[in-house]
Amino acid sequence: MPVDPRNLTRRFSQRVGLAFVAGAGPASNLLQSLIFLVALCLYVRFAFVFPASSKFGLVVAAMGVPVEVFLREELLSTGQVLILTLLGRLIIINVGLALFNLIPAGPLDGAGILRGFLPWRWLPKFDRIQPAMNIILLAAFFLGLLKYLLGPLYWLAETFYLTPLAKLILGV
């Protein structure tokens, strides 16, 4: 998205301001995942009469268990399965988009964020390697290697973001 640097505040340097603009994309994805997580947890907390530990398991399952498995469960109606899986998938998709966009390569937001905070003397080298980073990113995508990069980041997001918040909202 093109940005006119003249519209940035003078409180920060132009480089840092552009880094903040680049960070808005991943931040909005994390905010959306938070909204969907709260909605899912509140739905599970008040719509089901399971024990609290089972409710937490239901929230975790909503983010990864296939719909067909949920539909085989006799305790859940089709509408409940739809709401659970939709909210769970929206959480995972938004966390994934935020993590993917934070990769510091080429057109992704991570490169803009990193560029805003690198020392001046490193910028020419950083700018020179960006075309190669684009090729590496595309190769990793087509070879299926992104899961090895994003997998540990998903684990961190689940361990330090999704699980504690879900437990807090559910009262576990």
Supply the pLDDT for residue 128. Answer: 92
pTM (two decimals): 0.88
Match 């997998």 to its residue by tokens.
Answer: 151
Torsion angle (degrees, nearest 10) of CA 35, 36, 40, 43:
60
Continuous segment of H or E residues that includes residue 158: none
Q: How many CB atoms lie within 10 A of CB 33?
A: 23
Contacts of 43 (CB under 8 A, 6+ apart): 83, 84, 87
CA dist 172 and 161 (Å) reads 15
pLDDT per position as a tens digit, 70-110:
888 888 889 999 999 999 999 999 999 999 999 988 889 99
Domain boundaries, the chain: 12-170
